[in-house]
């Protein structure tokens, strides 16, 4: 089973709201990733966690705050977002091979 | 640094025709190469990957790709297109280091005409 789940599927939020995106995998993978994807563009890497430690932050604004509470769960906390942050947010995980397995994504709309 | 170029942002084929999606990579080390497919409002699904075991790689849904080091290419093919193949296709390269950071191509949207 190579399933990565993400909730919610859709999220609409105002610029003053605080919300969180959730990603979960039960494959025993120790690396997890957050990507942002705008329409008609490839995914852009935001964060990488390896063994529950933040390993890469691609200069993402502080209004995005990642968290890895345990080896199966990855959160992305959102606060004071801008309309240009509207996008599809994808989570991925990787085990011992080089393959990343992607979740279905959360479609975020910021009003 | 790694990079990937996908020639043709849009490719249109007739149902039953050959599908050819092009991917060229730039890598200073032996690469790991991947093709992913993305249907509208969905995540990326792995089609196939090259990890040096064999130059011709077979994937899901009848797709295959051939690694050609001399041409630094990893083109994706399918002998006969099906309507359900209409989607966005991304080629990606990873050098295996740096937490397996992926470098994606810009994507090719495949349209299949009846």
Work out the percent of chain A whose per-residue pLDDT is above 90: 91
Q: Which sign does the torsion angle of CA B69, B70, B71, B77 carry?
A: negative
A contacts of B47 (beta carbons < 8 Å): none
Dist. CA B31–CA B50, nearest whole Å? 8
Q: pLDDT digit of tens for each residue in chain A (111 aa)?
A: 669 999 999 999 999 999 999 999 999 999 999 999 999 999 999 999 999 999 999 999 999 999 999 999 999 999 999 999 999 999 999 988 889 999 999 999 999
Taking the C-alpha atoms of residue B58 and residue A6, their distance in angstroms, rounded to an integer, is 29
| Chain B residues in contact with A92 (beta carbon < 8 A) | 44
B69 three-state secondary structure: helix
pLDDT, one tens digit per residue, over B2-57 is 889 999 999 999 999 999 999 999 876 667 899 999 999 899 999 999 987 788 99
Cβ contact, residue pair B102, A45, below 8 Å: yes
Q: How far apart are CA B62 and CA A69, in angstroms?
A: 39
Residue of A nearest to B96 (CA): A98
Number of other CB atoms surrounding residue B105 within 10 Å: 23
DSSP A88: E
Residues of chain A numbered 30-89 and touching chain B (CB < 8 Å): 31, 40-43, 45, 48, 50, 55-56, 88
pLDDT tens per residue, range B84-107: 999 999 999 987 776 778 999 999
């Amino acid at each position: 089973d190579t399933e990565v789940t993400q909730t919610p599927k859709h999220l609409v939020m105002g610029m003053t709201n605080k919300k969180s995106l959730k990603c979960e995998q039960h494959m025993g993978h120790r690396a997890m990733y957050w990507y942002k994807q705008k329409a008609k563009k490839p995914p852009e890497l935001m964060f990488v966690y390896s063994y529950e430690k933040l390993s890469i932050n691609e200069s993402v604004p502080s209004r995005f705050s990642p968290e890895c509470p345990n080896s199966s769960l990855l959160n992305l906390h959102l606060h004071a977002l801008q309309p240009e942050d509207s996008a599809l947010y994808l989570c991925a995980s990787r085990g011992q091979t080089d393959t990343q397995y992607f979740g279905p994504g959360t479609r975020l709309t910021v009003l | 640094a790694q990079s990937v170029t996908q020639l043709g942002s849009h490719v249109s084929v007739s149902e039953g025709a050959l599908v050819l999606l092009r991917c060229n990579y730039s890598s200073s080390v032996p690469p790991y190469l991947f093709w992913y497919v993305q249907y509208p409002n969905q995540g990326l699904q792995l089609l196939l990957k090259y990890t040096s075991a064999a130059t011709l790689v077979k994937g899901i849904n009848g797709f295959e790709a051939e690694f050609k080091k001399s041409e630094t290419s990893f083109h994706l093919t399918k002998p006969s297109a099906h309507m359900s193949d209409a989607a966005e296709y991304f080629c990606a390269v990873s050098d295996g280091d740096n937490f397996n950071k992926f470098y994606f191509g810009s994507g090719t949207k495949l349209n299949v005409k009846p």
